[in-house]
Homo-oligomer: A and B are copies of this chain.
Amino acid sequence: MYQELLKSKGLKSTPQRVMVLTMVENAGHIDIDQLSEDFKNSGMSVPLATLYRILGELSSVGVLHTVTLSKGKTRYEIAKGDHPHFLCEECGQLEDLKVAMNDIVAIAQNACTHSTNSVSVTLHGICQNCSVNPKKPLKD
């Protein structure tokens, strides 16, 4: 229940926040424009400023995780521990890779003298769909 989750993080439960969490959960990965559009489609129009604030808060308490793509595009996902992503450079699709990060982290941390608390790994390439029917826009 998102209501509990929010409370446990010291945040009040509001319709907007619950909706954001629901939408991010359903989408897997989503950016703010898509969120805004989803809100419109559900009849509930929420200004971008509010979405930015909600996403910022949820990220800072660790409920959401941000994936920053090139050109400052940010996508959000429910934080579920580190995992690698695949990013299609053609269509912008972002896909979770089902791999434990342990080995990756071990290798990388072995070379790192600082204390780390998270690791991001992204593979960049062309997804199968785009290699079959090439599109135009790199929404990345």
Looking at A116, A119, A123, A127, which has the most chain B CB atoms within 10 Å of its CB? A123
Q: Are A114 and B99 in contact (CB under 8 A)?
A: no
In the complex, A110→B86 CA distance in Å? 12
By beta carbon, the residue of chain B nearest A123 is B116
Q: Are B70 and A74 in contact (CB under 8 A)?
A: yes
Q: State the number of copies, please.
A: 2
Query: A108 interface residue, CB < 8 Å from B?
Result: yes
Q: Are A108 and B99 in contact (CB under 8 A)?
A: yes
The SS class assigned to the A binding surface is mixed
Q: Are B111 and A131 in contact (CB under 8 A)?
A: no
In the complex, A110→B70 CA distance in Å? 24
Q: What's the nearest-Cβ distance from chain B to residue A120, in Å?
A: 5
In the complex, A118→B119 CA distance in Å? 17
CB-CB under 8 A from A117, the residues of chain B are: 89, 124-126
Contact of A125 among B86, B115, B121 (CB under 8 A): B115
Give the top 5 A-B pairs by smallest Cβ distance, nearest first: A72-B72, A116-B125, A99-B111, A116-B123, A97-B111
Interface residues of A (CB under 8 A from B): 66, 68-74, 84, 86, 88-89, 95, 97-99, 103-104, 107-128, 131
